[in-house]
A and B are shown apart, each in its own frame.
Chain A
């Protein structure tokens, strides 16, 4: 069970990393979202998987029962999901605005900041170090 779970997390993470290595910034955003999902699953795994009871304290008791699930990772995942969602929304809008302002989705062609005050000849694809 744990192994299967770990393997599927690995698959999600690998897909995310693969997408992040793309030049298209929309794909980079999607890759980030996948990795964030993978991390949430890892946090869940860190609390150990198993056939456990819900983390509810019985009436009259003061602590969780012996076989109850670990509630902390669930709280962490909940926090991480909320933050991850906000970040995804922000990343998407940044990507959208950048695409609109720069007229491209290709990260390689987004060179406005790189060329600002660049001491080397612009657009020298050979990496020439000729000074201005």
Chain B
């Protein structure tokens, strides 16, 4: 398959499926199968792309034969290929899971076209090689995300959508302002070209302002302290399948963009910005975990644990060393898969026990021992215990922090791991171990379409934990590619000749 096609397929496939779903607007039953087929093809394409990038290095497509820096390049380097592959896995699991638990309102309001559209935005943002195009993908996924909140047409989700939309629209608009200032200073929008031009510009007011606005807007997108407040207010109200997609993908796109922009343009986070990012990472980690601990609703806890996970990812950016970025790349993949898994499982628990409020449920281990074991697996991975992928992710990040002369950050990361473990133990004890309250209505038979995809994601995490070497190598390559972008620049700028 030609490089051009391979690189662009993860964007085109869901876009086509979104179109087909929209054509069969009145037939949600058909849309389901179209979406599942589309996500299967997309996952296959994503893994083909990953294999291609691993064997050939950075792959570039220049649509319309407009050579960089004049056209918009679509670029797959190890980090973006890995992220697309992980995102596709979660999307495939979610599309199967969506056979149950999506309201009639949502199905007739365009749930599946928006589902596919969200994946267009996510994969587009991961694969684009142009900063203005990144803004466009941000808007695509933002519109689809707002759509996925409002299609349920009930008060809770509409309220969540208002808060979500207001803060994220502001964040995206600030991102566009930053792009404008960057363009004013550098005169180009292509990432590879920017990476050549910007370091030679020297400091200027416009560039500094752009840097600050990037930090602000990507801080909103990535739910970093003190800008994360929109997240816990919006993620617990939606159906589990939407929470899983949001939790696994949206914030990760923000942190991916931060990696890309800060490493390519500003040569990592140095000086004062470095200090700011270090403290943002530390406080994000710890506030997320502690806020999760006081919650009594399972899905609210998980929403705060997303915030906590973003802190670990920001650590990689704060360190700006190849090891730190490699560790963060590993964490990114682990986090996408595990956050998807726990939110899907939270939905299964809500079906089994009739509620996701931990004070109203309990004793599920008697009726659903398999679910108890699977959730324990997902939880241990989330908390960072072996033999799951979370263990290696946290070990790598903490190790990179100690090596990168940030022992305080490493210490906070380990402490936060302990608090997350406490959260997971709390969920498990409350939902499965303690005696259930009187009058709790247990659903004995759990739908397979919900159990299988959630279990599959947990097994992926287990497999990564047991055979960590391949992913570690890939993550190390991704980290090296971020720290030294010369291969990226050469692939994009040389490809036109």
Contacts and interface: CB of A to CB of B under 8 A. Distances in A.
Interface stretch (B24-32, B146-154, B245-253, B439-447): B146-154
Contact of B180 (A25, A39, A102, A111): A39
B196 to A, nearest CB: 18
B170 A42 contact: no
A108 to B, nearest CB: 11
B170 A32 contact: yes
Contacts of A39: 173, 176-177, 180
B486 to A, nearest CB: 26
Nearest to A120: B294
- In this complex, the member of B142, B150, B159 whose beta carbon has the largest number of chain A beta carbons within 10 angstroms is B159
Contact of B237 (A42, A94, A98, A113): A113
B176 A80 contact: yes
Contacts of B295: 117, 119
A98 B158 contact: yes
A26 B379 CA distance: 41
A35 interface: yes
A86 B143 contact: yes
B383 to A, nearest CB: 20
Contact of A117 (B169, B180, B183, B356): B356
Interface in B153-172: 153-163, 165-166, 169-170
A114 B162 contact: no
A45 interface: yes
Interface in B291-307: 294-297, 299-300
Contacts of A72: 183, 189
A25 B136 CA distance: 25
Which secondary structure dominates chain B's binding surface?
Answer: helix
- In this complex, the member of A97, A98, A117 whose beta carbon has the largest number of chain B beta carbons within 10 angstroms is A117
Contacts of B173: 32, 35-36, 39
Interface string A14-33: 00000010000100100010
B158 A42 contact: no
Contacts of A43: 176, 179-180, 183
B386 to A, nearest CB: 31
Contacts of A64: none
A104 to B, nearest CB: 10
B65 interface: no
Interface in B270-316: 294-297, 299-300
B413 interface: no
Contacts of A132: 296, 359
B345 interface: no
Interface in A109-124: 110-114, 116-119
Contacts of B154: 101
A119 B165 contact: no
Nearest to A100: B158
Which secondary structure dominates chain A's binding surface?
Answer: helix
B297 A117 contact: yes
A11 interface: no
Nearest to B183: A46
B366 to A, nearest CB: 25
B395 to A, nearest CB: 32
B155 A117 contact: no
Contacts of B356: 117
Interface in A78-132: 79-80, 83, 86-87, 90-91, 94-95, 97-98, 101-102, 107, 110-114, 116-119, 132
Contacts of B267: none
Interface in A40-90: 42-43, 45-48, 72-73, 76, 79-80, 83, 86-87, 90
Contact of A45 (B150, B176, B184, B236): B184
Contact of A111 (B143, B146, B159): B159
A130 B105 CA distance: 37
Nearest to B235: A113
A17 B442 CA distance: 50
B139 A87 contact: yes
Interface string B230-241: 000110110000
B484 interface: no
B156 A113 contact: yes
A116 B155 CA distance: 11
B181 interface: yes
Contacts of A28: 166
Given A43-B180, A116-B237, A91 B159 contact: no
Contacts of B399: none
B343 interface: no
Interface of B: 132, 136, 139, 142-143, 146-147, 150, 153-163, 165-166, 169-170, 173, 176-177, 179-181, 183-184, 189, 233-234, 236-237, 294-297, 299-300, 356-357, 359
Closest 6 CB pairs of A and B: A117-B297, A46-B184, A113-B160, A112-B159, A98-B158, A119-B296
7 contacts: A43-B183, A73-B183, A76-B180, A83-B139, A98-B155, A101-B158, A116-B237
